[in-house]
Structure 1
Amino acid sequence: MSKEPFKFKQFSIEQDRCAMKIGTDGVLLGAWTSLEHNPESILDIGTGTGLIALMLAQRSEAFQIDAIEIEDNAYEQAVENFENSDWGDRLFCYHAGFDEFVDEMQDEDKYDLLISNPPFYSEDYKSGNEHRDQARFADALPLEELIEGASLLLSENGHFDIIIPYSEENKAVEIAQNHRLFPNRITRVRGTINSPLKRSLISFSFERKEPMIDELVLEISRHEYTPEFRKLIKDFYLKL
């Protein structure tokens, strides 16, 4: 396995010690999330390599960009990636589980943007790699726990953005409503025009309104990105 860093246009990511490597989901979410409400404080839940936090540091003027990571090696690597970036003074990673973080922080100042590419494989199968399973299986951070915690940490006018399997979309919306969070924007993702829906990008807030719903197709053919996807990620990928 290559130990070379993954290089983006404005930062690089070391990922040799992380169980979950950089993938399309994280890049998608970091590029898709709206910053129109000019968040001053951001929290990346389950940061892994630190990818999404770094993307938001590049995209925003937020003075506080925090991240949480429970797995030891990923935490150390995220800290390293933050320190090696141009935005180290705005980035901070907590070595903690989300439940304990919520318990300690829910009475503090709220975050204007919460964002998470959460673990979501809930089937009984495990890969046999403990670190990879912790990073990618839903029992490490159940959807219910994630959404409930987000509702306690989110500022009144903030939003909470996630990427999950399309099959989990209705469940997530139902859970969120139980915690006074409502979908304002949903983008459903297909690999190609003829492939089934694979992911849902959802932006929740405390404002109940009719959500804007659209679809995004990633590729025309293998490694040939659609214009829509290229536009979304052009500020990050070196070859675009």
Structure 2
Amino acid sequence: MKRKTHFQFKQFEVQHDRSTMKVGTDAVLLGAWAHVANATRILDIGTGSGIIALMAAQRTPSTTQIDAVEIEGQDAAQAAENFLASPWSERLHIHVAPIQDYPPSPPFHPYLYDVILSNPPFFINSQEPPNKRRHEARHTVTLDHASLLAAADRLLQPQGTLNVVLPYTEGLQFIDLAKQHGFFCTRQYSFRTREGKPIERWLLEFSRKERATETGEILLYKEKLEWSDSYVELTRDFYLKL
């Protein structure tokens, strides 16, 4: 069977045949869940095919500018093509660079962002996959979590938020590490396939201001393969069949 090279959403299409990581549930969850509506500038770190940046563009006013940073040239090239083909091409901008070196030297303006989004590498101590590009996308080789938090500290507005999606154990470790960098978890949602199953992912929002953490849960299925009400409500503006 021929492998699918693109993913069609209601308002845009994502080509991902040359991207290291294909369109998946993690990116869709974060892109739909993060609070972005009032942001003037958004940064997507490790954009891959560009799906999270595209979802942010759909959810924000025409004045919102979105920068996407990607270290892998082939992924960045595909993201740029996806941006150009979208209805929001004029406000989506791709930058090929490690986040540790972003923004580049002048004349690039040193923007501060209202929202930072990242579906970051998350495997810290696990077996490496044979594909080098996939290894670096999934394992904390080129972007460890301390570096991500340092970048957020450097690039966020004082009232800005950092939003990430991580597996269960890595997410809890990230919460503790974030405190060491002056960030507090202000939203924490669990995601699991169905009721009674272990938590598979955390959706996490961080701010420099400590306050009570908003908590919630998203289930993928309610019965057999029928999507749950919480997942449908979160993603209804994106999936074609909703």
Return the alpha-carbon distance in structure 2 between the equivalents of residues 166 and 101 of structure 1: 29
Question: Alpha-carbon deviations, 1:193-234, whole Å to 9, x = none?
Answer: 121011111110111111111222111245311011001000
Aligned-residue sequence identity (percent) comes to 38
Match for residue 175 of structure 1 among 174, 177, 200: 177
CA RMSD of aligned residues (A): 1.8
Q: Find the counterpart in structure 1 of residue 70 from structure 2.
A: 69
> For residue 74 of structure 1, what is the amino acid of its counterpart?
D
Return the alpha-carbon distance in structure 2 between the equivalents of residues 87 and 189 of structure 1: 29
Match for residue 131 of structure 2 among 129, 134, 140: 129
Residues 86-97 of structure 1 mapped to structure 2, 5 A cutoff: 86-97=87-98
Deviation at 1:175, TM superposition (A): 1.4
Helix, strand or coil at the partner of 2:134: helix
Contact 1:102 1:152 in 2 (8 A): no
Match for residue 197 of structure 1 among 199, 222, 240: 199
Question: Alpha-carbon deviations, 1:145-172, whole Å to 9, x = none?
Answer: 1111111110011111000111122321
Structure 1: which 4+ aligned runs deviate by more than 4 Å? Answer: 102-107
Q: Find the counterpart in structure 2 of residue 78 from structure 1.
A: 79
Aligned residue pairs total: 239
Q: Find the counterpart in structure 1 of residue 57 from structure 2.
A: 57
Deviation at 1:3, TM superposition (A): 4.6
TM, length-normalised to structure 1: 0.94
How has the CA–CA distance of structure 1 residues 184 and 239 changed in structure 2, closer, same or farther, with 3 Å as cutoff?
same
- Could you tell me which runs of 5 or more consecutive residues in structure 1 were left unpaired when the two chains were aligned: none
> For residue 196 of structure 1, what is the amino acid of its counterpart?
P
Return the alpha-carbon distance in structure 2 between the equivalents of residues 92 and 135 of structure 1: 20
Contact 1:102 1:149 in 2 (8 A): no
Return the alpha-carbon distance in structure 1 between the equivalents of residues 26 and 8 of structure 2: 17
How has the CA–CA distance of structure 1 residues 231 and 2 changed in structure 2, closer, same or farther, with 3 Å as cutoff?
same
Return the alpha-carbon distance in structure 2 between the equivalents of residues 73 and 34 of structure 1: 29
Return the alpha-carbon distance in structure 1 between the equivalents of residues 109 and 57 of structure 2: 25
Deviation at 1:107, TM superposition (A): 8.6
Contact 1:189 1:199 in 2 (8 A): yes
Q: Find the counterpart in structure 2 of residue 45 from structure 1.
A: 45
Deviation at 1:35, TM superposition (A): 2.6
